[in-house]
Structure formats: C-alpha cells, structure tokens
C-alpha cells in the first residue's frame, strides 16, 4: 500500500461500507425501470429450464450419492487464499459439504510468508518476511478480519507493527537525510521543480490542500450523502488530472515530483475517489476524537493465518489442481476441469464459488457458463480491471545493522527514495514492547508498486530467484539511502541464494497482479456490481478482494465471501424453501453477520436487504434471458 497517515484517528464508521452502498444505490437507480418489471427471485429460478434428471449418480465425483439416494450437495471452492478458506469455514459451520481446489502447493494466496533456510531453528525463528500482505490496521472497515483473528478459535498471535520509526531516511536525487531535511532546496531540484515544492513541508502542505475539497464533503454532510457526492462529482478524475485541475500552473515535472514523494511512479493514474477514501479512512477530516489507529502483524508471518484457517477445516485442501475450465452441466450442476500431476481431471459440483484473482479467472475457459453471451459487462470487467504490480526483495543479513547506525537506531518503519528500490521496510519482529531486543536480520530492501514494480520485475526470476545484476543494484541503492559504503553492506551479507528472495506478483501465473487497481470512473461503472453477479444461472459465484468495496485488503476478500455465500444460500432457499435451507440462511446471518461489511448499522438493515435482493435479481435476469446451455464437454474420464 501507499504511504498512509497513521498518526491520526480513524472514524468509528466503516467508510468502505458506505462506498458499497453508494455505488450499489446508483447502479440500482439506473436500472430502476428494468427492476420494476422483474419477477420475484423464486419465479426467475422457477422459469429456468429444468435440468435433466440424474440418471447415473456415479458420474458425480463431487456430488456424493449412496445407492439410489439423491446426491448430497458438494460446493466446489476454487482457490485456497483467504476468501477460499473463509468460504470453507463458513460452509463447514453450516454443515454444508465442500471441496477446495488449489493450484499451488500451499494455502494463503497473496498471504505468503517466505522463511529463509534454517528458520526452523529457534535462534533463527524470525528469519522471514511477508511477500504479500504484511500489516493490518485495527479500524472499523477491518471488522471481519479482526473477528476472524480474535473470535474463531484460530490461535493466532498478533504483535505490534511499527508503521513509522525514528531515524528512517528520505533519499531523493542522490541526497539522503535521516532527519527532516533543512534548507529551501535540500534535494537540489531547483532547476526542475517549482519553489513551493522543493521542501518536503511544502509538498505535504500542497497534498493536504489538494485533497481538502473532496475531504470536506465528510465534514459538511452525513457520511451517506458525502459518499454519494464524492462519486457523483469526482469519480471522473484520476488523482493526476485532479491535481492539474486544482492548480493549472503546475508543470508536468511538478506533478511527477509530487507523485514521487507521495506514492509510486504511475500511482496518480488511480481514481481520485480511491485516493480520497483512503485518506479519509485513515485520517478523518476535522474531528479527531476517535482513537489512534493500531497496526498489527502476525507473530510468525501472515501465512500463519491461512495455515490456521486450513487446520480448522475437516476437509483437507486438494493442492496442485490448476483449474482450466468451468462449465454448466446438463443435470443442473457445474463441471470444473483442472490439471493435476500433468493429467486433466474433472469434477461436478452442485455450485462453485471461485475465489481466484480476476486475471487468473480470465485465463480459464468460461465459454460454457454463458458469461460471455449473457453478461458482457461481467466478462469485460474480468478482462479489463487492472491489477497493480507489486514486488518485494528481501535480504537476510548477518546482523540487523540498521539498529546500530551512527544516525540512530531504526526499529520498524520505512525509508523512501527515488532510486529503483523505492521503499525499504524494517522488521517489527520479534515482539518487544520496549524495542530493546534486536530485530530480525531480514530486511525488505525493496517494496515497489506500479511502474516501479514493473521495472524491477524484469530482474526477478521464478521461485524467488534473481537476475545476477539485481542484488548488486539493491545493495548500491541501499548504501546510498543509509549513507554507508557498499563494502559496509557486503561485509554484513553472505551473498548466496539462501540469503535473498525476490518476488513479483505480476509474474506469478496464479495471480498476474497484486491487487485491484481501479482507474477513474471504473468503480461507479456497472463493472463493479456486474462482476459480482452469479453466473451459470445461479450456480457459479465469485469472491475476492477485487469484488469488494474494500479491495486490496484481506477484509475485502472476506466481505466479498459473505456476499457470495449469502447469494448461494438465498438461491438454495428459493429453489427449495425447506426448513434446513431456512436454518442455514438464518444461522449464517447470526454467526457471520447480517451485511457484507458487517457494520451492523440498524439504519441500513432493511435497505441492505432490499438492495441485495434487487442486485441478485438483476444479475440473474441476464442469464434467464439466455437459457441455452453451451455445448456439453465430454464426460469426465
């Protein structure tokens, strides 16, 4: 994530829940006339062509049948990241059978901790780093995440994460400071940058000013109105175009310099509404009566969470199963085709919840789900939505030398530079409230996003390996940032592949990107709600951070899971209003929340229910208009 404000206060409301409501309300208002003509959910389902009878239950490899009894429903889950595992936990709590197909050999997806060789020894316990998500703010929009951590008997240990620290560095134009730089042009950019922005203080003041207009919406209006006005008036802007609009006298060089200090190269192409909401979520305008934001990480790394989730499941994850196709089947089920051990296999499920990142989903053959013919906005959204690139490079040094620098001890926090490594992240572990014990010797020597990540990706190889030129480049930049010699670093580093690790999420074939990156207008476009619509006439559901109003966070993946399961259980009840299906739906709401964001604001309970019903009916109606099942694939071998 970008350089967030962490010393201010968080509002006691879930801002992203209000974003979701605002966008959904706008979408439903656009289709108001169409919705008014739609039948009730039960009738939409009833009028679909009846599936052919199950003549040979034995073909249902994942729809269990005993003798002449009816098949027992099994829900297929594609992906064992946080969304997939959360799906399984919920279904298990309801007594619903499931099976998880995971392409890799581990759980977690983008929750991924790399442990250096030997870290199984007690003295090297903290020789690791988080390749993916690494820090978790305890804010209202993270409610579902912290419920999972604290209330589901997983036994995870959280420790303080130090987002900021004393004595970290700012290094631009080859000039590095470990304290606030003095002078009117500390980085010697006067021939390139306007006078107001040559000092960091001037940059920060301008950035506060340029966002003040949209931020003031949340001071002058209630949060619902403010969110609606934000998307109505500002969603057509990128952050870059808004900066240019607010201050037309700025040169392109000025804007690029602001972006360099503030975020990463190309970050200002993101939607302005994204920037504003992130700003408000972590630094509420005006009133600061709320509590300061506490940040946490996992003792043992973020992989601890998915590993504990998987351990709580009674049905083990099936690893090494790369899904290549999803198809409707003639008996009212969904056929999932995957490759395992070099062999193509297929299984049938009564329903499927797919939690893979959208780029990976686009690689699958979805032609027999009617997505392309019935819901082109859904298909185009799967193809078009950008996923931001992100890379991390970590080095295990002989000692945590950054704690003994002459410029001052560094414990946690980050340093920033315009060198290719861009951001250096210092470890916050092992846990020590007094900050007196040495930290881990593993340093994230580079954490990049957007165009910066794309460039370094060229030097990153599969499996955590690196081009021979990468580590020398990193050490060169690292020495310049910390004002130490290159030899100082090489003396403290055993340069072998066992002591470094590099990862590019955009090069990972199972993700093809790090997180959803919405451009101007993309969130309020029909892309957002139509991406979430069930496909295959109510048998294929989607979940993942990109399908949430709180994307790029684990909370978004969990919230989207709630929506997918609520859709699945609602349709199951509408198809068969049995006591068991009613009980499942009721228990789901009691134990896992009554709304997607789980903000439990009674003001919106009925509105949320009504909006959910309309969104579901509108999405399903597209498939009801295209009832023809595609050509049937061959039977499973």
Residue 320: other Cβ atoms inside 10 A? 14
Query: 523-555, pLDDT tens digit by residue?
Result: 777 788 889 999 988 999 999 999 999 989 999
Q: Strands 387-388 and 390-396, how do they pair?
A: unpaired
In this prediction, residues 560-581 reach a mean pLDDT of: 96
Number of domains in the chain: 4
The enclosing domain of 142 has a CATH number of 3.90.660.10
Residue 344 · residue 337 · CB < 8 Å: yes
Residue 513 belongs to some domain of the structure:
no
Q: Are residues 102 and 117 in the same domain?
A: no
Burial 38-69 (b: 16+ CB within 10 A, else e): beebeebbeeeeeeeebeebebbebbeeeeee
Query: 476-502, pLDDT tens digit by residue?
Result: 999 999 999 999 999 999 999 999 999
CA distance 146 to 138: 7
Quote the tokens at residue 274: 């994204």
Q: Are residues 456 and 430 in the same domain?
A: yes
Report percent pLDDT > 70 for the chain: 90
Quote the tokens at residue 212: 């003040």
Q: Are residues 217 and 130 in the same domain?
A: no
Q: Are residues 585 and 595 in the same domain?
A: yes
**Chain-wide mean pLDDT for the chain?**
90
CA distance 94 to 566: 12
Query: 146-161, pLDDT tens digit by residue?
Result: 999 999 999 999 999 9
The enclosing domain of 545 has a CATH number of 3.50.50.60
Residue 607 belongs to some domain of the structure:
yes
User: How would you list the strands of the sheet with 365-368, edge to edge?
Assistant: 343-349, 334-340, 322-328, 365-368
Residue 232 belongs to some domain of the structure:
yes
Query: 360-417, pLDDT tens digit by residue?
Result: 999 999 999 989 888 888 999 999 999 999 999 999 999 999 999 999 999 999 999 9
What per-residue confidence (pLDDT) applies to 50? 54
Among 257, 310, 206, 526, which residue's Cα sits nearest to residue 418?
Answer: 257
What per-residue confidence (pLDDT) applies to 537? 86
What per-residue confidence (pLDDT) applies to 258? 98
Q: What share of the chain is helix, strand, coil (3-state, %, to 5)?
A: 40, 15, 45
Residue 69 belongs to some domain of the structure:
no
Quote the tokens at residue 181: 């730089």
Band the pLDDT of 520: cuts 50, 70, 90.
very high
In this prediction, residues 318-341 reach a mean pLDDT of: 92
Quote the tokens at residue 91: 């279904």
Q: Are residues 371 and 429 in the same domain?
A: no
Q: Are residues 42 and 97 in the same domain?
A: no
Query: Measuring CA to CA, how many Å separate 466 from each of 48, 106, 170, 390, 463?
Result: 54, 22, 26, 16, 9
In this prediction, residues 574-599 reach a mean pLDDT of: 93
Q: Are residues 545 and 577 in the same domain?
A: yes
Residue 233 belongs to some domain of the structure:
yes
Q: Are residues 422 and 496 in the same domain?
A: yes
Q: Are residues 394 and 478 in the same domain?
A: yes
CA distance 375 to 256: 39
Among 429, 452, 432, which residue's Cα sits nearest to residue 442?
Answer: 429
Query: 402-422, pLDDT tens digit by residue?
Result: 999 999 999 999 999 999 999
Residue 337 belongs to some domain of the structure:
yes
Report percent pLDDT > 90 for the chain: 78
Q: Are residues 483 and 541 in the same domain?
A: no
What per-residue confidence (pLDDT) applies to 67? 37
Q: Are residues 460 and 535 in the same domain?
A: no
Write the DSSP symbol of residue 477. H
Q: How far is CA 427 from the centre of its chain?
A: 22
Residue 552 belongs to some domain of the structure:
yes
Q: Strands 540-542 and 351-354, how do they pair?
A: parallel
Band the pLDDT of 625: cuts 50, 70, 90.
low
What per-residue confidence (pLDDT) applies to 69? 44
Does pLDDT of 26 surpass 50? yes
Round to the nearest angstrom and report the end-to-end CA distance of the chain.
45
Q: Are residues 310 and 277 in the same domain?
A: no
Quote the tokens at residue 232: 């109505």
Write the DSSP symbol of residue 329. -
Query: 61-103, pLDDT tens digit by residue?
Result: 454 433 344 455 699 999 999 999 999 999 999 999 999 999 9
CA distance 70 to 547: 34
Residue 80: other Cβ atoms inside 10 A? 28
What per-residue confidence (pLDDT) applies to 633? 46
What per-residue confidence (pLDDT) applies to 327? 94
Name the pTM for this structure. 0.93
Residue 177 belongs to some domain of the structure:
no
Range of the domain at 206: 194-260+267-282
């Amino acid at each position: 994530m970008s350089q967030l404000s962490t010393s201010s206060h968080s509002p006691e409301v879930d801002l992203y829940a209000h974003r979701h409501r605002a966008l959904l309300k706008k979408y439903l208002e656009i289709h108001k006339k169409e919705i008014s003509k739609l039948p009730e959910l039960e009738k939409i389902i009833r009028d679909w062509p009846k599936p052919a009878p199950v003549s040979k239950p034995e073909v249902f490899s994942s729809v269990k049948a005993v003798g002449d009894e009816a098949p027992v429903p099994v829900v297929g889950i594609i992906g064992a990241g946080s969304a997939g595992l959360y799906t399984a936990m919920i279904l298990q709590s309801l007594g619903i059978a499931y099976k998880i197909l995971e392409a890799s050999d581990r759980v977690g997806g983008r929750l991924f901790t790399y442990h250096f060789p030997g870290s199984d020894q007690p003295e090297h316990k903290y020789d690791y780093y988080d390749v993916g998500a690494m820090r978790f703010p305890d804010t209202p929009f993270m409610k579902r995440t912290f419920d999972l951590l604290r209330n589901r008997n997983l036994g995870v240990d959280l420790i303080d994460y130090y987002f900021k620290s004393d004595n970290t560095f700012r290094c631009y134009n080859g000039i590095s400071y470990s304290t606030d730089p003095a002078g009117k042009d500390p980085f010697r950019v006067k021939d390139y940058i306007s006078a107001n922005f040559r000092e960091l203080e001037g940059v920060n003041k301008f950035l506060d000013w340029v966002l003040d207009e949209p931020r003031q919406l949340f001071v002058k209006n209630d949060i619902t109105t403010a969110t609606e006005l934000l998307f109505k008036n500002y969603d057509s802007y990128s952050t870059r175009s808004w900066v240019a609009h607010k201050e037309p006298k700025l040169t392109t060089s000025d804007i690029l310099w602001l972006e360099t200090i503030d975020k990463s190269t190309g970050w200002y192409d993101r939607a302005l509404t994204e920037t504003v909401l992130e700003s408000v979520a972590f630094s509420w305008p005006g009133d600061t009566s709320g509590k300061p934001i506490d940040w946490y990480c996992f003792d043992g790394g973020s992989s601890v969470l998915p590993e504990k989730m998987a351990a709580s499941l009674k049905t083990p994850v099936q690893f090494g199963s790369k899904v290549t196709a999803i198809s409707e089947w003639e008996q009212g089920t969904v056929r999932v085709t995957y490759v395992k051990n070099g062999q193509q296999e297929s299984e049938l499920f009564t329903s499927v919840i797919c939690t893979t990142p959208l780029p990976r989903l686009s690689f699958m053959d979805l032609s027999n789900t009617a997505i392309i013919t019935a819901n082109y906005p859904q298909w185009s959204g799967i193809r078009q939505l950008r996923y931001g690139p992100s890379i991390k490079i970590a080095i295990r040094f002989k000692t945590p030398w950054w704690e003994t620098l002459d410029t001052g001890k560094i414990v946690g926090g980050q340093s920033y530079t315009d060198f290719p490594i861009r951001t250096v992240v210092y470890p916050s572990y092992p846990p020590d409230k007094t900050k007196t014990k040495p930290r881990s010797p593993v340093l994230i020597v580079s954490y990049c996003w957007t165009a910066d990540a794309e460039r370094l990706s060229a030097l990153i190889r599969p499996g955590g390996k690196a081009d021979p030129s990468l580590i020398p480049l990193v050490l060169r930049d690292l020495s310049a940032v910390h004002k130490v010699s290159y030899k100082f670093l090489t003396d403290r580093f055993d340069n072998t592949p066992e002591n470094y690790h590099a990862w590019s999420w955009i090069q990972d074939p199972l993700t093809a990107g790090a997180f959803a990156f919405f451009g101007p207008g993309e969130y309020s476009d029909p892309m957002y709600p139509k991406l979430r619509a069930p496909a295959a006439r109510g048998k294929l559901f989607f979940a993942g951070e990109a399908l949430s109003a709180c994307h790029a966070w684990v909370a978004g993946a969990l919230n989207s899971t709630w929506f997918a399961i609520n859709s699945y259980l609602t349709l199951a009840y509408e198809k068969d209003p049995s006591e068991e299906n009613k009980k499942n739906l009721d228990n789901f709401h009691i134990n896992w929340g009554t709304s997607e964001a789980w903000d439990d604001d009674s003001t919106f309970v009925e509105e949320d229910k009504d909006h959910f019903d309309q969104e579901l009916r509108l999405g399903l109606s597209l498939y009801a208009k295209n009832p023809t099942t595609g050509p049937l694939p061959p039977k499973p071998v």
